[in-house]
Amino acid sequence: MSVILAIESSCDETSVAICNNGKITANVIANQTIHQNYGGVIPELASRVHQQNIVPVIQQALIDAKVSKKDINAVAFTRGPGLLGSLLVGVSFAKSFALALDLPLIAINHMHAHILAHFIDDPKPSFPFLCLTVSGGHTQIVLVKDYFDMEIVGQTLDDAAGEAFDKTAKILNLPYPGGPLIDLHARSGDPLAFKFPEPQIKDLNYSFSGLKTAILYFIRAQEKLNPDFITERLDDICASVQFSIVNILLNKLKRAAQLYGIKEIAIAGGVSANTGLRSGLELRAKELGWRVYVPGFEYCTDNAAMIAVAGHFKFMSGEFVGQDIAPASRMEFNG
């Protein structure tokens, strides 16, 4: 019997979830719209808004789950990686909450939690499986052998795929957050209208800095010929960029699957909500006989449900931390 209260505050979402015996019974997320005014997340503002949101979000989660503070058996929290100021709010509150109620603490690696989001709902992948974890800050291919036995077999050498989407959106004068808007416009565009180079990296690693530069130079060159190029061809540009990024991601994932002889394939992270990536993965699955697992949309972006389910597995194995634990803006993947 375990009731886990989980807190996620790694970036600009304040989220609290309740996990009751491995089942998510509440998952409350408070988004921060203030960053839209600046074209990106402002760390100091993010931490301030977390302070405003965390108490009401916790109260709402308890109401949604129909539990009281006295029912909680442990407190799980995101230790890192993430924005240090944002993490500090969540970690400090988790420690205070646990100390006041004499509860054990469970520290969670944010990237592990994205992968373990696949164990919230059915169907669930079988071990071992490969997980392509894609977000604004990370792009990794992870060999998942058990709940916390994971190995990065490929990762970006520079920029993340999510950053490539966001920077492209900025070039196209789309408001923040731009990644979902590229996805939206891409649905009405021609993915073969424009061709962008695929980085020639021999192993399972990725690189997106060159692609971002190629997109920037392409747009500049086209605008010299036609100042209205972006406006007139926005859907085709978005579709072509998305097609290129998705192909880069899935081509390496295919190589990894062949190398390790694995057909259990999962995707996770904020970019896993991208419809182009999801449809591309489905096509590869039919072609290669993969069994594919994709979290529900609400569990793709940062959320506390994934922290809660990770906390559940750690609770079952008795992996607790002390009150001296500190947030970590950077963490070793297996740390």
Answer yes or no: are the C-beta atoms of 106 and 314 closer than 8 Å: yes
Kindly state whether residue 144 falls inside one of the protein's structural domains.
Answer: yes
User: Do 143 and 286 belong together in one domain?
Assistant: yes
Strand positions, DSSP E, 69-115: 74-80, 105-109
User: Do 151 and 43 belong together in one domain?
Assistant: no
Whether the pLDDT of residue 141 is over 70: the answer is: yes
Say what the pLDDT of residue 158 is: 93
Token readout for 216 is 């920037």
Kindly state whether residue 243 falls inside one of the protein's structural domains.
Answer: yes
- Which residue range(s) make up the domain with 263? 125-294
Q: What does the pLDDT average to over 50-64?
A: 95
User: Do 221 and 132 belong together in one domain?
Assistant: yes
User: Do 100 and 157 belong together in one domain?
Assistant: no
Answer yes or no: are the C-beta atoms of 298 and 17 closer than 8 Å: no
Kindly state whether residue 329 falls inside one of the protein's structural domains.
Answer: no
Percentage with pLDDT > 70 across the chain: 97
More confident residue, 110 or 333: 110
**Alpha-carbon 228 to chain mean position:** 34
Answer yes or no: are the C-beta atoms of 281 and 294 closer than 8 Å: yes
Answer yes or no: are the C-beta atoms of 82 and 88 closer than 8 Å: no
Token readout for 160 is 């993340």
Say what the pLDDT of residue 178 is: 87
User: Do 110 and 147 belong together in one domain?
Assistant: no
User: Do 75 and 129 belong together in one domain?
Assistant: no
Answer yes or no: are the C-beta atoms of 243 and 191 closer than 8 Å: yes
User: Do 163 and 281 belong together in one domain?
Assistant: yes
Kindly state whether residue 335 falls inside one of the protein's structural domains.
Answer: no
User: Do 159 and 59 belong together in one domain?
Assistant: no
Beta bridge partners of 109: 80
User: Do 234 and 250 belong together in one domain?
Assistant: yes
Say what the pLDDT of residue 34 is: 63
Could you count the other beta carbons within 10 Å of the beta carbon of residue 278? 17
Tens of pLDDT, residue by residue over 64-115, are: 999 999 999 999 999 999 999 999 999 999 999 999 999 999 999 999 999 9
Q: What is the amino acid identity at position 296?
A: G
Number of domains making up the chain: 2
Q: What's 92's domain CATH number?
A: 3.30.420.40
DSSP string, 167-190: HHHHHTTPPSS-HHHHHHHHTTS-
Token readout for 158 is 């520079």
Kindly state whether residue 322 falls inside one of the protein's structural domains.
Answer: no
Whether the pLDDT of residue 316 is over 70: the answer is: yes
Whether the pLDDT of residue 130 is over 90: the answer is: yes
Kindly state whether residue 276 falls inside one of the protein's structural domains.
Answer: yes
Tens of pLDDT, residue by residue over 225-282, are: 999 999 999 999 999 999 999 999 999 999 999 999 999 999 999 899 999 999 999 9
Q: Residue 335's pLDDT band (boundaries 50, 70, 90)? A: low
DSSP string, 272-318: GG-HHHHHHHHHHHHHHT-EEE---GGGTSS-HHHHHHHHHHHHHTT
Output phi, psi for 291, to 5 deg: -100, 115
- Which residues, in sequence order, are CB contacts of 203 under 8 Å at separation 6+? 154
- Residue closest to 17 by CA, chosen among 309, 314, 320: 309
Kindly state whether residue 334 falls inside one of the protein's structural domains.
Answer: no
- b/e map 296-308, b = 16+ CB within 10 Å: eeebbbbbbbbbb
Strand positions, DSSP E, 92-147: 105-109, 129-134, 139-144
Q: Residue 11's pLDDT band (boundaries 50, 70, 90)? A: confident
Tens of pLDDT, residue by residue over 147-175, are: 999 999 999 999 999 999 999 999 999 99
Kindly state whether residue 53 falls inside one of the protein's structural domains.
Answer: yes
Output phi, psi for 197, to 5 deg: -70, 145
User: Do 41 and 99 belong together in one domain?
Assistant: yes
User: Do 22 and 165 belong together in one domain?
Assistant: no
User: Do 162 and 108 belong together in one domain?
Assistant: no
Q: Residue 213's pLDDT band (boundaries 50, 70, 90)? A: very high
